[in-house]
């Protein structure tokens, strides 16, 4: 069994590569251009039998002569800071990168899984979000480069599925956290943890009443693998229905770190979603999946990982 993971040196991609090797794949090929991913995320896998790291950009295509059984397309900047800094590469990996990944899967008759996002729902007018909701997205706003890239990727995936009979699946990933997140990548969990550990002011945008639903990375990867081993086309929401405000999250992290950092407020970014919570009924029924890790436990593990990195310098 051989799998190709695009964006495999990223936060989620690296955990996915590791789990694929742990669950029976003989070879896992990690393709990454290191725009936002890092070789450090997979350094512990580089000496492992069956793991191969290739620096390359799926936007320019990728081919293999050896048989491929699974293609998992996880390449894309994912944090607002990253895709606002790299809007054109974000659009290209969602369009050209998705097409090249699909072509690889079709050539080998492989199962294809697209990592889409809850951002496909934009700033939702329906709560919680179900897969049949079409979303409320501003295509010309600053977040449009990411939102629309993923929506286009979904449309491309379904076109290959309907027209060519490709074996495809789409997962819409809600906010995910855990070890290997990049400090300073702009996402709320690493920002708040690193600020709390450093004793710096903890920044919350707006009044902090906006909500997110946080899923620990191990649970998320389990859902992706369950999707891989089915013929469900999706889209299927993967996330934690446990909804909390960003102010609650900041206070929780401050308590868990034992920090005395003050909480300060920044302006709310344009088109920032006010509420975010997945309806996971479809994942429960089709994949027999739901998150198992309590948010507090996942936060403790993530805080410990960041604290160890700070100690190491």
Mean pLDDT of the 248-265 span? 95
The whole-number pLDDT of residue 269 equals 85
Q: Where are the beta strands (DSSP E) in 40-195?
A: 51-55, 70-73, 111-117, 168-173, 176-177
Instruction: Kindly provide the b/e burial profile for residues 255-266, where b requires at least 16 CB atoms within 10 angstroms of the residue's own CB.
Output: ebbebebebeee
Token pair in block for residue 149: 């890239």
Section 236-264 average pLDDT: 96
Whole-number Å distance between alpha carbons of 241 and 130: 12
Higher pLDDT among residues 74 and 273, named by residue: 74
Per-residue tokens: 182? 């990049």
Residue in 252, 222, 224 with CA at minimum distance from that of residue 236: 224
Residue 233 pLDDT grade (very low, low, confident, very high; cuts 50, 70, 90): very high
Sorted by sequence, the CB contacts under 8 Å of residue 159 that are 6+ apart come out as none
> Looking at residue 273, what is its pLDDT?
84
Note whether 187 and 180 are within 8 A (CB). Answer: no
C-alpha 199/C-alpha 201 separation (Å) is 7
The pLDDT value recorded for residue 245 is 95
For 140-197, write each residue's pLDDT tens digit: 999 999 999 999 999 999 999 999 999 999 999 999 999 999 987 889 999 999 999 9
Alpha helices in the chain (DSSP H): 11-22, 80-85, 87-108, 144-164, 188-198, 217-228, 246-257, 281-286, 295-312
pLDDT tens, 39-64? Answer: 999 999 998 999 999 999 999 999 99
Residue 270 has pLDDT above 90, yes or no: no
Peptide bond preceding 65: is omega within 30 degrees of 0, i.e. cis? no
What is the pLDDT confidence band of residue 17, given thresholds at 50, 70 and 90?
very high
Average pLDDT over the chain reads: 96
Residue with tokens 């659009």: 91
Specify which residues 296 forms β-bridges with: none
Name the pairing type of β-strands 51-55 and 27-32.
parallel
What are 19's two structure tokens? 């789990």
Q: What's the N-to-C CA distance of the chain in angstroms?
A: 39
**pLDDT tier at 257, thresholds 50, 70, 90:** very high
Burial class (CB in 10 A: 0-12, 13-18, 19+), 116: buried
Q: Which residues contact 264 (CB under 8 A, 6 or more apart)?
A: 201, 202, 203, 204
Percent of the chain clearing pLDDT 70 (strictly above):
100
- Euclidean distance between CA atoms 30 and 41, whole angstroms: 11
CA distance linking residue 193 with residue 197, whole number of Å: 6
- Domains of the chain, earliest start first: 2-178+215-241+275-292 (3.40.50.720), 188-209+243-274+304-312 (3.90.25.10)
- Which are the contacts of 294, defined by CB distance < 8 A and separation ≥ 6? none
- Of 83, 121, 133, 146, which is the active-site residue? 146
Q: What is the pLDDT of residue 46?
A: 93
Instruction: Based on the residue annotation, tell me whether 146 is a catalytic residue of this protein.
Output: yes
**pLDDT score, position 185:** 85
The rounded distance, in Å, linking the Cα atoms of 90 and 98 is: 11
What local confidence, expressed as pLDDT, does residue 183 receive? 87
Could you say which DSSP state residue 16 is in? H
Q: What stretch of H or E contains 211?
A: strand 211-213
What confidence score (pLDDT) does residue 148 get? 98
Radius of gyration of the chain (CA): 19
pTM score, two decimals? Answer: 0.95
Give the Cα separation of 143 and 172 in Å (integer): 17
Cα(71)–Cα(103) distance, integer angstroms: 10
pLDDT in tens, 98-132: 999 999 999 999 999 999 999 999 999 999 999 99
């Amino acid at each position: 069994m051989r799998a190709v993971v695009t964006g495999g040196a990223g936060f989620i991609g690296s955990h996915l590569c590791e789990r694929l090797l742990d669950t029976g794949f003989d070879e896992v090929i990690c393709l990454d251009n290191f725009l936002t991913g890092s070789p450090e995320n997979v350094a512990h896998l580089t000496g492992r039998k069956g793991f191969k790291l290739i620096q390359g950009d799926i936007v320019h295509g990728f081919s293999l002569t050896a048989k491929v059984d699974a293609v998992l397309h996880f390449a894309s900047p994912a944090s607002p800071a990253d895709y606002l800094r790299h809007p054109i590469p974000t659009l290209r990996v969602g369009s050209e990168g998705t097409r090249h990944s699909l072509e690889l899967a079709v050539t080998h008759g492989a199962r294809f899984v697209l990592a889409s996002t809850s951002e496909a729902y934009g700033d939702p007018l329906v709560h919680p979000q179900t897969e049949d909701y079409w979303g409320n997205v501003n295509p010309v706003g600053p977040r449009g480069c990411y939102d629309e890239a993923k929506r286009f990727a979904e449309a491309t995936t379904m076109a290959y599925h309907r027209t060519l009979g490709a074996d495809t699946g789409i997962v819409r990933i809600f906010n995910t956290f855990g070890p290997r997140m990049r400090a300073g990548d702009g996402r709320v969990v690493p920002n708040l943890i690193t600020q709390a550990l450093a004793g710096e002011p903890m920044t919350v945008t707006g009044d902090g009443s906006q909500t997110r639903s946080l899923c620990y990375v191990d649970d998320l990867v389990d859902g992706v693998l369950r999707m891989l081993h089915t013929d469900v086309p999706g889209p299927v929401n993967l996330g934690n229905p446990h909804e909390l405000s960003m102010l609650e999250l900041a206070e929780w992290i401050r308590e868990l770190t034992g920090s005395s950092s003050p909480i300060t407020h920044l302006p709310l970014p344009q088109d920032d979603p006010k509420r975010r919570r997945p309806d996971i009924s479809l994942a429960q029924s089709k994949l027999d999946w739901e998150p198992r890790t309590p948010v507090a436990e996942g936060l403790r593990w993530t805080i410990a990982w960041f604290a160890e990195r700070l100690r190491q310098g």
